[in-house]
Amino acid sequence: MVKILGNQIPQNVYGNVKPGEILYILGPSGSGKTTLLDYINNRTKLSPKNNVLLNQKKQNLQEFKKIAKYCQQQPQLFEILTVEQTLKFAASWHIKDEKQRQEKVETVLKILGLQSIKNVKIGGLLFRGISGGQKQRVSIGEQLISNPKLLFLDEPTSGLDSASAYYLMKNLQEIAQKMNIAIICSIHQPSQRIWDLSSKVLLLSGGKGFGGNMTYFGETKDLSHYIENIQNIPQKNNQSLSEYVLDLINGDFGEGRQAQQLIDEWKLNHEKNNQGNGNYTCLQFSIAYLITELPITTTMAILTVLISFFQIDYPEGGNLFWKMVLITCLGFNIWQALFQIFSYIYKDLLTTLIICSLITTTNFLFSGFLQPYSEINKFLLPLYYINPMTYQFQLYTNAVFSNFYISGPSHEESENYSSIYEERVGTYYLKDIDMDNINIQQNYIILIIIWIGFKLISHFYSYYYHQGKK
C-alpha cells in the first residue's frame, strides 16, 4: 500500500492505493497532477521520503525503485527497434537468463495485446510505425517486465482517440487485477466508460489561486453521493460525472466560489475522518492549530502597526509601538477565534463571511469610537460591555493620549498665567470621550479571557461536531 502524505506538492494531498486497484488523479490543467507523480517518484528537488509511506513505513528510495515504475506522458522509445526488441532490451536489465527473459517478454506481449505487432518497428519522425495507443502499451510493457508492485502513469490517454483510450485503460484494469499491481495514473478528461474503470479517485482543483488543493479522495462510486450532500453546489445536468466534477473544481472557467467551497468542505471532512480514526484527538488538533496561528497573527499585528506608526510623531517611541502591537495581536486572535467558531457552525463559506462581517460592523458601532459611552442609549449599553472592540479601543486610546502633552510658558514666565500646556493635554481628550478612568490592567485581562473563552467554545464545538460521525 502507498499513502501520499505530502503537504508541499501540491498542497495537503493524501491518499492510498492497494494491489489490484486503479487510482485516478484528476484535475484541470495546472492543478499539479504531473508534479505530484514526479514528487512521489523522487523526480523533484524536494525529497518525498518523509511524506510517502510504503506498506505503512516511510519510503526507502532504493526499495521504492525496485517495486515502483513510472511511465511518463511521452513514451521514450527507440524508433528503429521492433516492439519485441524493445521489451527484450528492457528485460535485459532485470532478467539474466535468456530463456526466462524470452518467456517474460511473451507474457507481457500477450497481456498487452501486442503479439500481432511484435515485429513492427516503433517508428517516429523518419518512418511510420505503430500507433500512439500501441506506443503507450509498449511503454507500459517496459515497466511490467520487472514485475512491479506499483505502476505510475502520467496521462496515458493523452492524444488517443476515445476507443484507444478506453481499451488502454481497460487493459490496465485487467493488468492490475491479474498481476495484483497497484496503479496510480493522472488523467485529464476521462469519458464515462474510462471513469467507471477506476477504483478510487483523487481530485485536485486548479486555477485562480486554487491550483493543487485537494477536493476529494475516496472510492469512485462514492463521489456522486459526496457532492450531492454539499450545500449550494449546482446540480449535475446531462454531463458525465467526470465533466461535472472538472467544471466544479476549475477556478479559471468555473465559479471560484464553488472550487473554494469544495476545498473547504474536504478539509473539514479530513479533520472529522482523522479524529474519527483516532489519528489525533480534538485537543491535539486545537493545540496544533493555536501553535500555527500565533506566529501568523503576531506577524500581521506587527505589519499593521508598522504601516502607520512611524508616519506619526507618537510621544513614547518604541515602548508605545510594542504596546500597540500587543493590543492589535490580542484583537486579531479574538476575532480569529470567533470566526473559527462560525466556520465550524456553517459549512458554507459565504454564509460565514456575511455573519462575521455583520458582527464586526456591529461591534465597531458600539465600541465607543463613533459615540462616547455617555451618549449611547442605555438599552444598547449591553452591546458596549460585551464588545471586545470596546476594551481594545480603550487600550489604544489610553496608550496614545495618556502621555500626550504640549510644552508651553511656565508659571515663572507669567505669574498670573495659568498654563494648561504644562498638563498632559491628552488627558483632557480622554475626559471628553469618557475614557479617563480606565483600568488598563483589567482591560488586558478581559481581552485575554474573551480570547480564551472563544477558543474553548471552538474547541468544545469541534469536540462535539468533528468526531467523524454523521
Containing 206, the helix (H) or strand (E) segment is none
Give the three-state DSSP class for 77.
coil
Q: Looking at residue 245, what is its pLDDT?
A: 78
**What residues form DSSP beta bridges with 82?**
121
Q: Give the residue from 276, 302, 329 where a domain finishes.
A: 276
Q: Looking at residue 445, what is its pLDDT?
A: 92
Q: Looking at the domain assignment, is residue 452 inside a domain? A: yes
Q: Looking at the domain assignment, is residue 412 inside a domain? A: yes
Domain that holds residue 261: 2-276
- 47: left (phi > 0), else alpha (psi -120 to 50), else beta? beta
Query: Taking Cα atoms as reference points, which of 53, 3, 18, 70 lies closest to residue 199?
Result: 18
Judgement on whether residues 49 and 192 belong to the same structural domain of the protein = yes
Q: Looking at the domain assignment, is residue 470 inside a domain? A: no
Judgement on whether residues 196 and 303 belong to the same structural domain of the protein = no
Residue ranges of the chain with pLDDT lower than 70?
1-12, 45-51, 59, 206-212, 231-237, 251-281, 313-318, 347-349, 403-436, 464-470
Judgement on whether residues 324 and 186 belong to the same structural domain of the protein = no
Q: Looking at the domain assignment, is residue 106 inside a domain? A: yes
Judgement on whether residues 251 and 137 belong to the same structural domain of the protein = yes
Residue 393 grid coordinates: 479601543
Judgement on whether residues 234 and 324 belong to the same structural domain of the protein = no
Judgement on whether residues 78 and 159 belong to the same structural domain of the protein = yes
Q: Looking at residue 467, what is its pLDDT?
A: 47
Judgement on whether residues 176 and 289 belong to the same structural domain of the protein = no
Containing 62, the helix (H) or strand (E) segment is helix 61-67
Q: Give the residue from 224, 245, 276 where a domain finishes.
A: 276
Judgement on whether residues 171 and 302 belong to the same structural domain of the protein = no
Q: How far apart are CA 337 and CA 252, in angstroms?
A: 32
Q: Looking at the domain assignment, is residue 137 inside a domain? A: yes
Judgement on whether residues 248 and 300 belong to the same structural domain of the protein = no
User: What are the C-alpha distances in Å from 469 to residues 267, 272, 289?
Assistant: 15, 8, 21
Q: Looking at the domain assignment, is residue 394 inside a domain? A: yes
Query: Taking Cα atoms as reference points, which of 356, 429, 359, 357 lies closest to residue 396?
Result: 429
Q: How far apart are CA 460 and CA 470, in angstroms?
A: 17
Residue appearing with cell numbers 498670573: 416
Judgement on whether residues 34 and 91 belong to the same structural domain of the protein = yes
Residues 6+ apart with CB under 8 A from 315: 400, 403, 404, 405
Q: Looking at residue 7, what is its pLDDT?
A: 41
Helix axes 440-465, 388-401, angle to 10 degrees: 150
Query: How many domains does the chain divide into?
Result: 2
- Half-sphere exposure of 152 toward its Cβ, with a 13 Å CA cutoff? 21
Judgement on whether residues 98 and 168 belong to the same structural domain of the protein = yes
Query: Taking Cα atoms as reference points, which of 91, 41, 44 lies closest to residue 64?
Result: 41
Q: Looking at residue 421, what is its pLDDT?
A: 46
Q: Are strands 52-54 and 2-4 parallel, antiparallel or unpaired?
A: antiparallel
The CATH number for 98's domain is: 3.40.50.300
CB 417 within 8 A of CB 409: yes
Cis status of the peptide bond prior to 10, with omega within 30 of 0: yes
Judgement on whether residues 358 and 378 belong to the same structural domain of the protein = yes
Length of the chain: 470
Q: Give the residue from 226, 246, 276 where a domain finishes.
A: 276
Q: Looking at the domain assignment, is residue 246 inside a domain? A: yes
Q: Looking at residue 419, what is its pLDDT?
A: 47
